């Protein structure tokens, strides 16, 4: 963690934390009072987004990538759990490991889909979770029609997500989507129950996950905007 002043909150993030076996215990050993933010979204959408990112990376290197269906399905039509991106969307497996190490008061779930549709309410909840003043208002957000996302601004600058966000997803048949939703249904149900326990009540969605599996670590030591 970087050095911070006593009146600052330091933010540290890595997409790999959530799925790394040793991360919960190591983070707790570093700072047991750390606060955790996890951005969640639909597991099938996350899987498709994961593939789109990999395909884009391959394309930049002039390399081909197998089709989405070839990667997520076995030749017999069953979901391919050997494919890492498929396993990552099995959220309850990872949620439980974090919940065993950290008490629920230190974990806040951010609805990633709501964050995209209307970021202000989600940001307000984050401020409350961190115990800081509501410094961000609706005026700090504006919708960029070209990108299809909300961007942020203050008195002097504006900032939008980089070009890698919002990339076009591949067309996936309804049959494959249905098969994936059926596959994830059991772990999704478990994850939803765990989320209710962590966040003190049911959420609007029946699924969970993060745009890129991001727990953000807050050590009570700048509120970055």
Task: Tell me the two tokens of residue 50.
Answer: 């994961």
Burial 201-219 (b: 16+ CB within 10 A, else e): eeeebebbbbbbbbbbbbb
**Contact by Cβ (8 Å): 79, 182:** no
Helix residue ranges per DSSP H, 118-208: 119-130, 174-198
User: Do the annotations mark residue 100 as ligand-binding?
Assistant: no
SS3 call for 153 = strand
User: Do the annotations mark residue 218 as ligand-binding?
Assistant: no
User: Do the annotations mark residue 41 as ligand-binding?
Assistant: yes
User: Do the annotations mark residue 173 as ligand-binding?
Assistant: no
**Contact by Cβ (8 Å): 28, 99:** no
User: Do the annotations mark residue 166 as ligand-binding?
Assistant: yes
User: Do the annotations mark residue 168 as ligand-binding?
Assistant: yes
User: Do the annotations mark residue 28 as ligand-binding?
Assistant: no
Task: Tell me the two tokens of residue 102.
Answer: 């950290």
Task: Tell me the two tokens of residue 133.
Answer: 């003043």
User: Do the annotations mark residue 167 as ligand-binding?
Assistant: yes
Residues with Cβ within 8 Å of 173's Cβ and at least 6 positions away in sequence, in order, are: 69
List the binding residues.
Answer: 41, 49, 150, 165-169
List the binding residues for 3'-phosphoadenylyl sulfate.
Answer: 41, 49, 150, 165-169
């Amino acid at each position: 963690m970087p050095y911070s002043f006593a009146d600052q909150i330091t933010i540290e993030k890595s997409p790999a934390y959530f799925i790394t076996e040793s991360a919960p215990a190591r983070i707790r050993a570093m700072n047991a009072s750390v606060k955790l933010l996890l951005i969640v979204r639909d597991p099938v959408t996350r899987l498709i987004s994961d593939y789109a990112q990999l395909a884009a990376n391959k394309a930049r290197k002039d390399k081909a990538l197998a089709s989405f269906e070839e990667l997520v399905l076995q030749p017999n039509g069953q979901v391919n759990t050997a494919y890492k991106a498929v396993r990552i969307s099995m959220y309850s497996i990872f949620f439980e490991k974090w919940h065993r190490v950290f008490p629920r008061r230190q974990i806040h779930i951010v609805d990633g889909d709501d964050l995209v549709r209307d970021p202000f309410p989600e940001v307000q909840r984050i401020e409350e979770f961190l115990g800081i003043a509501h410094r961000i208002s609706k005026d700090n957000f504006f919708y960029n029609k070209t990108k299809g996302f909300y961007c942020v601004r203050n008195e002097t600058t504006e900032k939008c997500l980089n070009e890698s966000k919002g990339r076009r997803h591949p067309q996936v048949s309804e049959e494959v989507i249905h098969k994936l939703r059926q596959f994830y249904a059991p772990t999704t149900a478990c994850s939803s129950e765990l989320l209710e326990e962590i966040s003190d009540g049911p959420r609007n969605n029946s699924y969970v996950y993060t745009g890129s599996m991001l727990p953000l670590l807050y050590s009570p030591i700048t509120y970055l905007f």
